Each structure stands twice: as structure tokens, then as C-alpha cells.
Amino acid sequence: MTLVQPSKTPEDVIFPSSDFYSDEPPLETHLHLQQMLLLLKCLDWFWRDRSDYFATGNLTIFYSPRQRKSEDFRGPDFFVVLNTEKKPRKSWVVWEEEGKYPNIIIELLSPSTAGSDRGLKKQIYQDTFRTPDYFWFDPDSLEFVGFHLVDGEYQELSPNLSGWLWSQQLGLYLGILNNQLRFFTPDGELVPTPEESAERERQQKQLAQDQAERERQQKQLAQDQAQRERQQKELAQQKAAQLSAKLQELGIDPELL
């Protein structure tokens, strides 16, 4: 498929206003919406201490100064731009963002978009955007494919033993868990949602409390055992003293026994 590349902008061209609102159709299904929100939620939580990136979904990317946006091109379902300011945007306007394009794009396949995602969009992301990492995922069939830009062309990524694909740009793996696309750390740990993180902390706190309670009970058992042994020793001493006294009453020397 041949794309018409934007011609070189003459010096006297006046750039249009960059105050553009995103113009994207709603996502195909609830599964697609939930998947996009899941990716955003996890990455924002994982990078909650960072302010040098912009991650969003279903947002228009304006990349032609003359606004000759391809009729076949829509904004990516999920994308991340690195080394930029983390702030709300109505859309991504390349010429207002120091010429930056997404570092990673993920498209969620659907019957109406799969052909474009695998064809036209892939070529745009390769030839025009020069986006280093490109993935697509089908929330229904679970088709999952990834590419990395090598010498100007996308090379398909090979999965690791877990079936995950590595994103060099994010420094994270992407893989399928419970029929959803998730992020994983280089060590194989799941990148959680805030809710999952809170639940994990709650479970860890509960485990710590349970462990403390077990240790308290064990300590109490040890104290009770020591108390019983002390009482048994005192009882034995009392019986010995009573026997000694009785023998003395009878005129018998206890030491001779």
C-alpha cells in the first residue's frame, strides 16, 4: 500500500490553530473500553511518580500542518509519548509538541478496524510516525502481535516463554492474563491497578497481623507451659516437704531413706 507523504512545508505556510478537539468514534464494545482503561490505569499507577510522559487512549493525533488528515486514519486506541509534559490535552498536535510522535501504540482490533490496524495504520506508524513499538490486541479472539522498528521497518517480536512481548520503550512486557492485555515488569511481576495494589497491601497487612497473632499465641503457649512447669515443680517441692515433716514426726530421718 502506498502512502502519500506530506510535502515539505513552504516557509510562508501559516500553521493552523492547534486548539483541536479529538474527533474519534467510541470504542467498539465494552471489552474494548475496559481494555483501554485498564492499560491507562495500570501505567499511570506504575509511573505515578513520573511527570515526563503522556499516556492516553482513543485520542486524535494531528500530524499534518495543513490538516490533511487521512480519511482512513483515526487516533490510536492507546499510545504513550515519552519525554514530554504530563498534562491534559484535547488532542495530540505534533507540531505543537516539538514534533514528537508516540513512542508506543496499541490498537484494539475489531471487525471494523482490524484491516486498517494491520495495514494502513501499521504503515503510517512505521513510515510517518516512526513509532518504535507497535502492538495490536483483539479482546475477543485474543490475537496479540507486536513489532519493533528496526532500520525503518517493523520487525515482528518473538514472545518469551510466558508468551509476553517486550516493549523497549516502556521497559515492560505486555502479555495476556485472564483474557486481558496487561503489563509485566522485567522480573515478571504483574503491574497492578490501584485497586489491585490496595488489595495486595490489604492482604499483606492481614498476613502480617495473622503472623503477629500466631507469634503472640505461641508466646502465650510458651508462657502457659512455663507456668505449668513452675506450678508442678512447686507442687513437688510441697509434697516433698510434707513427706519430710511426716517422717520427722515419726522419728525417721528423711536422709536415711
Tell which wins on pLDDT, 21 or 233.
Answer: 233
Residues in the chain: 257
Mean pLDDT value across residues 158-166 = 97
- Of the listed ranges 19-28, 126-135, 141-150, the least confidently predicted one is 19-28
3-state secondary structure of 183: strand
In the chain, the percentage of residues whose pLDDT exceeds 70 is: 83
Question: Starting at the edge strand that comes first in sequence, how are the strands of the sheet with 165-167 ordered?
Answer: 165-167, 172-177, 180-184
What integer pLDDT is reported at residue 149 of this predicted model?
98
In SS3 terms, 185-214 reads as CCCCCECCCHHHHHHHHHHHHHHHHHHHHH
- Of the listed ranges 10-19, 29-38, 72-81, 99-108, the least confidently predicted one is 10-19
What integer pLDDT is reported at residue 6 of this predicted model?
47
Mean pLDDT value across residues 218-236 = 84
The grid cell for 25 is 468514534
Query: What's phi and psi for 79, nearest 5 deg?
Result: -150, 160
pLDDT in tens, 74-116: 689 999 999 999 999 999 999 899 999 999 999 999 988 899 8
- Across all residues in the chain, what is the average pLDDT? 85
pLDDT above 80: residue 70: no
pLDDT above 70: residue 211: yes
What integer pLDDT is reported at residue 148 of this predicted model?
98
In the chain, the percentage of residues whose pLDDT exceeds 90 is: 54
Residues carrying CATH 3.90.1570.20, the chain: 30-192
**From CA 181, how far away is CA 201, in angstroms rounded?**
23
What integer pLDDT is reported at residue 21 of this predicted model?
54
**From CA 114, how far away is CA 77, in angstroms rounded?**
12
pLDDT range class, residue 24, cuts 50, 70, 90: low
What integer pLDDT is reported at residue 218 of this predicted model?
85
What integer pLDDT is reported at residue 222 of this predicted model?
76
In the chain, what is the greatest distance between 2 CA atoms, to the nearest angstrom? Answer: 131
Task: Classify residue 5 by its DSSP letter.
Answer: P
Class of the domain covering 30-192: alpha beta
Cβ atoms 172, 26 nearer than 8 A:
no
